[in-house]
Amino acid sequence: MPNVLITGCSSGIGRALADAFKSAGYEVWASARRPEDVAHLSAAGFNAVKLDVNDSAALQHLAEQWGELDVLINNAGYGAMGPLLDGGTEAMQRQFETNVFSIVGVTQALFPALRRSKGLVVNIGSVSGVLVTPFAGAYCASKAAVHALSDALRMELAPFGVRVMEVQPGAIDTSFAKNAGAQAELLINEQSPWWPLRDGIRARSQASQDKPTPASVFAADVLKAVQQSRPPRLLRSGNGSRALPLIATLLPKALLERVLKNRFGLSRNL
């Protein structure tokens, strides 16, 4: 029975992936950070793992438990919304720690197990790393970094028979927008220079739920790609996952920025 470890399975994409792989006969190790989420995963029949992907000691302990690992899915992450300068370097660092640094840390810890099985690493990026929008700069930058490190890892792990597939979801029906909205509300206050544009900030935090694709459909697409004899280097799935990168490529930059500024209320002077 092939095995898979999926990070960030408390809800949304992670939980949908865990369900899909379990139904396909995989032995699923599903991680979450909060004890109550670990308990729910265990009750659902998964090998539940309590894991903070930013905890180096926890990663070392996890690595010691593995002989071989067929598939590692680096899914843990969140979206920091709001003006870049409101969040500042602290918000940027927190965003990168979870969305970027953890991918390197988890993959590094489990590399020996992946090498023994000549396994597959799946990194969950986002189309937001291709088409950058205002009021999501930290999140977009983190996902662009995921795309870059996935390309680097693909080349660097090739001599060991370990493959790397990057996934760029579009709009997926999860609690992402709710959580992103809560993050944005923490920053929106009357002291911010962007206070008059708060409606645009809120609109961006909810943009991921524009006609979203069910998480189960997205998970089925990922499962199908993983099961191929030669998994693709890049998989795009979900509403907008193909159209938005195409727009980012074909539309002149100045025109694209004008459209986005109009969309999120940035066309007027403050």
Per residue in 159-176, pLDDT tens? 999 999 999 999 998 765
Domain membership of residue 73 (yes or no) is yes
Domain membership of residue 111 (yes or no) is yes
Q: Is the dihedral of CA 260, 171, 182, 77 positive or negative?
A: negative
Residues 6+ apart with CB under 8 A from 58: 51, 52
253 is catalytic: no
In angstroms, how far is CA 129 from the centroid of its own chain?
A: 10
Domain membership of residue 130 (yes or no) is yes
As a dihedral over the C-alpha atoms of residue 81, residue 98, residue 130, residue 241, rounded to 10 degrees, the angle is -90
pLDDT at res. 180: 55
Which one of the listed residues 22, 139, 178, 211 is annotated catalytic?
139
Q: How far apart are CA 10 and CA 31, in angstroms?
A: 8
Domain membership of residue 87 (yes or no) is yes
pLDDT at res. 262: 92
Residues of the chain with pLDDT under 70: 175-187, 208-209
pTM for the structure as a whole:
0.92
Q: How far apart are CA 12 and CA 106, in angstroms?
A: 20
Domain membership of residue 12 (yes or no) is yes
Dihedral pair phi/psi, residue 67, rounded to 5° = -95, -60
Q: How far apart are CA 162 and CA 58, in angstroms?
A: 23
pLDDT at res. 185: 63
Q: Which two tokens stand for residue 214?
A: 């069910």
Q: Can you count the helices (H) and strands (E) in the chain?
A: 11, 9
Domain membership of residue 258 (yes or no) is yes
pLDDT digits 0-9 by tens, 2-33: 999 999 999 999 999 999 999 999 999 999 99
pLDDT at res. 27: 97
The CATH number of residue 148's host domain is 3.40.50.720
Strand order in the sheet with 234-237: 47-50, 27-32, 3-6, 71-74, 120-124, 163-169, 234-237
pLDDT at res. 187: 65
C-beta neighbour count of 93 within 10 angstroms: 12
Give how many domains the chain has, as a whole number.
1
Which one of the listed residues 26, 50, 118, 143 is annotated catalytic?
143
Domain membership of residue 163 (yes or no) is yes
Q: Which two tokens stand for residue 263?
A: 């969309």
211 is catalytic: no
Domain membership of residue 269 (yes or no) is no
Domain residues for 164?
A: 3-263
Amino acid occupying residue 71: V
pLDDT at res. 175: 65
